[in-house]
Amino acid sequence: MNDVKDANSEKNPVRGMRKIIGAVMGVLGAVLVWCIPIDGLTDAAHHLLAIMTLVAIWWVTEPVPIPVTSLIGPTLCVVLGIAPIDDAFKNFANPMIFLFLGGFLLAKGMMVNGLDKRIAYGIMSMKWVGDSPRRIFLAIGLACILCSGWISNTATAAMMFPIALGLLQTIRDMMATNGKIIDLSNYKYATGLMLMTAYACSIGGVMTPIGTPPNIIMLGFLDQLAPDAPKISFFDWMTWGTVAMVIYFIIASVVLWRMFPADVEHIEGAQTFIRDYRRSLGKWTRAQKNTLFAFCVAVVLWVAPSALTLIHGQESDIMTFYDSHFPEAVGGMIGALLLFLLPTDLKSWKMTMNWKEGVEGVDWGTLLLFGGGLSMGAMMFSTGLSNWIGAGIRDVMGTNPSEWVFVGVFCVVALLLSEFTSHTASTNLIGSIAISAAVSSGFSPIPVAIGIALSSSLGFMMPVSTPPNAIVYASGYVPITKMIKSGVIIDIIGILFVTIPIAVLFAKAIMGV
The pLDDT tens digits of the residues spanning 281-319 come to 888 899 999 999 998 998 888 888 877 877 877 778 888
Letter string b/e over residues 346-366, b meaning 16 or more CB atoms within 10 A of that residue's CB = eeeeebbbeeebbeebbbebb
pLDDT digits (tens, 9 = 90+) for 110-156: 888 888 788 777 777 777 777 788 888 898 899 899 888 888 787 78
Let me know whether 35 and 178 are in one domain. Answer: no
Is residue 484 domain-resident? no
Instruction: Give the range with max mean pLDDT: 272-276, 332-336, 365-369.
Output: 332-336
Domain end position, chosen among 82, 117, 143 = 82
Residues 34 and 127 in one domain: no
> How far is 219 from 450, CA to CA, in rounded Å?
9
β-pair partners for 350: 345
Within a domain: 429:
no
Residue type, 49: L
- Whether residue 376 lies inside any domain: the answer is no
Q: What pLDDT is stored for residue 297 in this prediction?
A: 92
Q: Are 156 and 302 members of one domain?
A: yes
Name 331's Cβ contacts closer than 8 Å, sequence gap at least 6.
102, 234, 298, 301, 302
Dist. CA 158–CA 352, nearest whole Å: 23
| CA gap 504, 445 in Å, rounded | 10
Query: Quick count: other Cβ atoms within 10 Å of Cβ 173?
Result: 11
Q: Tally the domains of the chain.
A: 2
Q: Do residues 187 and 138 both lie within one domain?
A: yes
**In this predicted structure, what is the pLDDT of residue 313?**
74
| 1 — pLDDT class (breaks 50, 70, 90) | very low
24 and 162 in a single domain? The answer is no
Distance separating the N- and C-terminal Cα atoms of the chain: 35
Does any domain span residue 74? Answer: yes
As a whole number, mean pLDDT of residues 367-371 equals 83
250 and 128 assigned to the same domain: yes
- Cα–Cα distance for residue pair 23/91, rounded to 1 Å: 26
Q: Which of 331, 361, 391 is the last residue of a domain?
A: 361
Q: What residue numbers bound the domain in which 78 lies?
A: 1-82
Report how far residue 349's alpha carbon sits from residue 369's, in angstroms, rounded to the nearest whole number.
36
The length of the chain is: 513
* 172 lies in the same domain as 244: yes
Would you state the pLDDT for residue 6?
40
- Taking the C-alpha atoms of residue 302 and residue 326, their distance in angstroms, rounded to an integer, is 9
Give tens-digit pLDDT for 312-363: 777 788 888 888 888 888 988 999 999 999 999 888 889 999 988 888 767 7
Domain boundary among 32, 49, 82: 82
Amino acid in the structure at residue 15: R
How does pLDDT run across 77-120, given as a tens digit for each residue?
A: 999 999 999 889 988 888 888 887 888 888 788 888 888 788 77
Q: Does 103 share its domain with 75?
A: no
CA 431 from chain centre, in angstroms, equals 14
The 10s digit of each residue's pLDDT in 218-267 is 988 888 888 888 888 888 888 888 999 999 999 999 999 999 888 777 77
Write the DSSP string, 356-411. Answer: HHHHHHS-HHHHHHHHHHHHHHHHHHHHTHHHHHHHHHHHHH-SS--HHHHHHHHH
Residue 345 backbone dihedrals phi, psi, to 5 degrees: -155, 100
Calculate mean pLDDT across residues 204-229: 87
Q: Which of 169, 110, 165 is nearest to 140 (CA)?
A: 165
Q: Please give the mean pLDDT across all residues of the chain.
A: 84
Q: Phi/psi at 351 (nearest 5 deg)? A: -100, 175
Q: How far is CA 269 from the centre of its chain?
A: 35
